[in-house]
Amino acid sequence: MLPEPIKMLIDALSRLPGVGPKTASRLVFFLLRTSEETLVQTLAEALLNLRAGTDYCPTCFNIMEAGRSQCKVCADPERIATLVCVVEEPLDVLALERTSGFQGKYHVLQGALSPIEGVGPEDLRIAELLKRVQKDAVSEVILATNPSMEGDATAMYLRQQLQPFDVRVTRLARGLPMGGDLEYADQNTLLRALMGRQEMS
Ligand SMILES: [Zn+2]
């Protein structure tokens, strides 16, 4: 019934997380009718630049602008290289940076272990973390994976993997809403969890 260009965009948007066919249709018809002339153009260009304009930091695997040799945190000589905070996603780095309470560096796993979704250790940046702990003589690894089943399982696994190294391994304090994402925690709660981090046995 619908013209092909409309159907195509609805189908594509429907495949995004959290967007069903209904929301997708609403968005498409909004874009068709909007009087904001530049919106469609800006959106199209931003989408095309999304992949081309970004890259992953070769040290911490956080997202960064393409063309840089390292992300801003890794390149900052003021940050403590021997203190590494391990998170699941780039958005978690953003949340922790907002607290202004962390002076170390990050390591972005790019996910969490999930047998149900078929995500194993080799799908995450775990080997790179272990190499980094050795190479930079890291003294403390803070496991800041999400307070969820997957996040906890990932932290436990990392704890095991880090056992052979001479490194302190801590986990964010309890108090973050269980099952929630780090990125949604408010700044104070997150800062408290960071400050109250505890040795993982
Ligand atoms: Zn980096």
35 Cα: distance to centroid of ligand 1 (angstroms): 41
Share of the chain above pLDDT 70, in %: 99
- pLDDT value of position 78: 96
70 Cα: distance to centroid of ligand 1 (angstroms): 5
> Domain 77-199 carries which CATH code?
3.40.1360.10
In sign, the C-alpha dihedral spanning 168, 173, 178, 181 is negative
64 Cα: distance to centroid of ligand 1 (angstroms): 8
117 Cα: distance to centroid of ligand 1 (angstroms): 27
**pLDDT value at 50 more than 80:** yes
105 Cα: distance to centroid of ligand 1 (angstroms): 8
CA-CA distances (angstroms) from residue 106 to 151, 158, 170?
16, 15, 14
The reply to whether 77-199 shares the fold of 4-51 is no
Domain ranges of the chain: 4-51, 77-199
The CATH superfamily of 4-51 is: RecR Domain 1 (1.10.8.420)
**pLDDT value at 177 more than 80:** no
What is the value of pTM for the model shown?
0.84
State the pLDDT confidence band at 79, using cuts at 50, 70 and 90. Answer: very high
**pLDDT value at 129 more than 80:** yes
- pLDDT value of position 175: 75
